[in-house]
Structure 1
Amino acid sequence: MLTIESYVSLKPYNTFGLDVNTRYWVEINQEDDLQTLLQLTEFVNTPKLILGGGSNVLLRQHFNGLVVKMNIQGIDVIREDDTHIYVKVGAGVIWHDLVKFCVNQGYAGLENLSLIPGTVGAAPMQNIGAYGVEIEQVFESLTAIDVASGKQRIFNHADCAFGYRESVFKRKLKDQYIITSVTFQLDKTPTFHTRYGAIQETLTEMGISDDTLTIKAISDAVIHIRQSKLPDPNEIGNAGSFFKNPEIPKPQFDLLKSTYPTLPGYPISDDIVKVPAGWLIEQTGWKGYRLGDAGVHTKQALVLVNYGNATGDEILTLAHQVQKSVYDKFNIEITPEVNVV
């Protein structure tokens, strides 16, 4: 049953803790409810904002439209073969709850993505990733509802046009579909990814050797790293990594490396190198910077924070200043990973 409310505060529903309202609000618990909603003539032309965990959005002002909060639940094994388990998950399931379920069941592939905030429905939109793994590596398909027609469509891997923190839902099909479930292809025999970031070092500190390595150990290591570096949104408003890590031509990286020997780089191909945006921001002096209640986190320069009463515009202004400094110093453009509304 649909219950549409008016003038609802979004402060509890965005991890920046920004105090803005929406004109209309509705929570969706099953796909049929969403299809019914999209057929209501009074809301056909109303701007819509789809919210999961609100962990990757920067709200600049009150939203004069309809916020659709996706709460569809369910984690179901739908089939398996000799090497894979296929798990269909509702869009409203908390991402880390899914990771914990899979780790506990011995389904491999999501362990490096432990403790990422947000919900499952947002994961393929952003092609979320961390510590050497991205969603597209374990993605099988998703179901989504066409906003214009209300009809269901199945998207396979190729349909989603995944890129670095990108998908067709952020570009060609932006705002045209609402994801209701995602199916993951997980491994019965794990392939361990331990070379990215501090995973191997953390595993060693935990007393884990190659002989005792498990997906649970990797998940525990990732959780430890994230908790030590990233602020808890329940304690200080933030949306995790605010910027994408830029990918630059190798000749540009080599030239910068000759000037800045400690510059980290991760080869994407023979011609492209990914550079940590957090390192670039820290080198420009922004780490720990605070202007009013908007700031750059003291432990991780990639994270912008709300110390209490910052507005979305104040955080965005700070982001623009950080971008300009990085470009002026390194001739590298860093772009937001967070969606600005």
Structure 2
Amino acid sequence: MSISLVAFNTFALQQNCNSLVEVTSKAELIDICNNLYKQELPMLVLGGGSNLVFTEDYDGTVVKVSTKGIQFTADDDYQYITIQAGENWHNLVESCLQKQIDGLENMALIPGTVGAAPIQNIGAYGVEFNRFCYEIEFLQLDTGHLVRFNNQQCDFGYRESIFKKQLNNLAVITEVTLKLAKHWVPVIDYGPLQHFDPSTVTAKQIFDCVCHTRQSKLPDPKVLGNVGSFFKNPLVSTKAYNQLKLRFTDLVAYQQVDGQYKLAAGWLIDYVGLKGFHIGDAAVHQEQALVLVNLGNATGKQVCQLALYIIEMVFDKFGVILQPEPRVMGSVGEIDIK
């Protein structure tokens, strides 16, 4: 039997899978994933489908994680939030704000589920997931055991974690625990947040500003299929940044704590004149060049062709290699973009 995946990927790509199972409890998630792994059957664990590019029909089982549940605890200095993997990330941010638990507001409107957040170490407007990660619980498929990792063990980096590297295809995240300081310090040194006064700004103001900015620049995937930012913002050395700045005086970049500079990938793509450029129905968004969109009938292969063209154009102009953020899926698992 062939099941459509259109409703299960935010790019709205027209691909199918052999079977699809939606799980609503942690026990069910563990049982199904263990059984599929033992049978050596292709398995894709799916959250919100906001970080996937399907290039072919998936010749296996898609496990849709819909587990729910949020628990709040606290000590004198910190709030602890334990969240089941299937919870919606933005809904979590809103719930925390309503309970006056501040810290996540910069990451409002990031699509996807809580269980997917650590894999990609999601982030926006100067804040990344790892800032608040206390513990990750996951099923380790090769042992069949539930394991807990603390923040350090997750080996977080910029859009990276151990779950994308050593534990790729071996870990199914079941539960996430966050740790947020009761003494809130706003992060407002990025983009549109810079106009706020740190002594008076509230988390709600930051949340509203982030939501407004994202909604004005980023297309709603329900209207125009996309996976949000398609490329990582590339990191370059101080020397490389200075050389680029001499040639491109309006270059947009942000200095990092280690001295490197994070270049704005959207600016690079815009500079080479690719806003609105398309291959078939896969296009660079007119308003935000960092976003690739499905104009209606795009295929995953067209999306990949477009991404590779962008990478080539940016490299020819700047000598900088862009790296895609989403996972590109072939018939039995993740593949290199090609």
Which category describes the TM-score, using the shorter chain as reference length? over 0.9
Task: Measure, in 2, the Cα distance between the counterparts of 1:38 and 1:198.
Answer: 42
2:136 to 130, 138, 142: 142
Task: Measure, in 1, the Cα distance between the counterparts of 2:277 and 2:43.
Answer: 34
Q: 1:166 to 1:13 in 2, by over 3 A?
A: same
1:35 aligns with 2:23: no
Q: 2:51 maps to what in 1?
A: 56
Task: Measure, in 1, the Cα distance between the counterparts of 2:35 and 2:88.
Answer: 28
The 3-state SS of whatever aligns with 2:119 is: helix
Task: Measure, in 2, the Cα distance between the counterparts of 1:267 and 1:84.
Answer: 29
Tell me, yes or no, if the aligned pair for 2:188 and 2:198 is still in contact at 8 Å: no
Shift of 1:63: 0.2
Q: 1:63 to 1:254 in 2, by over 3 A?
A: same
Tell me, yes or no, if the aligned pair for 1:38 and 1:150 is still in contact at 8 Å: no
Q: 1:305 maps to what in 2?
A: 293
Give TM-score, length-normalised by structure 2.
Answer: 0.94
Structure 1 segments unaligned to the other structure (5+ residues): 1-5, 204-208
1:238 to 226, 229, 232: 226
Q: 2:152 maps to what in 1?
A: 158
Aligned ranges for residues 247-326 of structure 1 at < 5 Å?
247-269=235-257, 271-326=259-314
Aligned ranges for residues 113-124 of structure 1 at < 5 Å?
113-124=107-118
Structure 2 segments unaligned to the other structure (5+ residues): 330-338
Tell me, yes or no, if the aligned pair for 2:279 and 2:305 is still in contact at 8 Å: no
Q: 1:39 to 1:242 in 2, by over 3 A?
A: closer
1:222 aligns with 2:216: no
2:2 to 7, 19, 26: 7
Query: Alpha-carbon deviations, 1:29-70, whole Å to 9, x = none?
Result: 112112221343796211111110000111111000111111
- Following TM superposition, the consecutive aligned residue runs of length 4 or more in structure 1 with deviations greater than 6 angstroms are none
Task: Measure, in 1, the Cα distance between the counterparts of 2:288 and 2:55.
Answer: 23
Tell me, yes or no, if the aligned pair for 2:37 and 2:43 is still in contact at 8 Å: no
Tell me, yes or no, if the aligned pair for 1:84 and 1:188 is still in contact at 8 Å: yes
Which protein, 1 or 2, shows the higher relative CO under an 8 Å CA cutoff with sep ≥ 6? 2
Tell me, yes or no, if the aligned pair for 1:38 and 1:148 is still in contact at 8 Å: no
Q: What RMSD over aligned residues (CA atoms) do the two structures have, in Å?
A: 1.4
Matched length: 329
Q: 1:193 maps to what in 2?
A: 187
2:168 to 163, 174, 186: 174
The 3-state SS of whatever aligns with 1:54 is: coil
Tell me, yes or no, if the aligned pair for 2:36 and 2:42 is still in contact at 8 Å: no
Tell me, yes or no, if the aligned pair for 1:106 and 1:188 is still in contact at 8 Å: no
Query: Alpha-carbon deviations, 1:220-268, whole Å to 9, x = none?
Result: 1100000011000010000000000000011111011011110011111
Task: Measure, in 2, the Cα distance between the counterparts of 1:144 and 1:61.
Answer: 28
Shift of 1:210: 4.7
Q: 1:258 to 1:65 in 2, by over 3 A?
A: same
Task: Measure, in 1, the Cα distance between the counterparts of 2:210 and 2:58.
Answer: 35
Task: Measure, in 2, the Cα distance between the counterparts of 1:170 and 1:105.
Answer: 32
